[in-house]
Amino acid sequence: FFGSDLEKFITSLNTYRMGPEPGCHFNASRTQQILQATLDRYLEGVCYSPDSCSQLCQMLADLVLSKLKDVNPPRYKLVCQVVVGQSGKQGISVASRSLMNPNTDNYTSAVFQNHSLFAVALVHGMYFE
């Protein structure tokens, strides 16, 4: 069975809900504020070092997710991605595109930079029917 295509049938209770309740949408501006505040607070004065930054990156991602779970409206899935890099004289570009329903789904991003590192955090909120 390993490696073969599996089609799983999952049954769940029907709530007859077609979309998120009014006022319960993914709040992009509030998420952006939380993201920016978290990045600023945790990366203020931190110096880039190759060994510690991988853990820092993962920790930031988990931290952001836990903060967002508190304000997350019901029936929304979250995907959070954090990129941390050394501030060298290199060019970097981060882009994202998604296939989603613009009425119910949204995304936010935040950027932080200091003399030795930069960080980009990206969060997508997707409504789950």
Partner 1 sequence: IVVALFDKNVQNNEEHNLAVESTIGNSSYQHSKINQWMSGIVESSLSQLTKLGKPFKYIVTCIILQKNGAGLHTASSCFWDNSTDGSCTVRWENKTIYCIVSVFGLAI
Residues that bind partner 1 (CB under 8 A): 3, 5-12, 48, 50, 53-54, 56-58, 60-62, 64-65, 68-69, 72, 77-101, 105, 107, 122, 124, 126, 128-129
**Which CB atom, from 11 or from 29, has the smaller least distance to partner 1?**
11
- CA-CA distances (angstroms) from residue 96 to 58, 61, 110? 19, 17, 13
Instruction: Report, in Å, the least distance between residue 117 CB and partner 1.
Output: 9
How far apart, in whole angstroms, are the C-alpha atoms of residue 107 and residue 96?
10
Tokens describing residue 87: 């501030």
How far apart, in whole angstroms, are the C-alpha atoms of residue 82 and residue 29?
18
Instruction: Report, in Å, the least distance between residue 64 CB and partner 1.
Output: 7
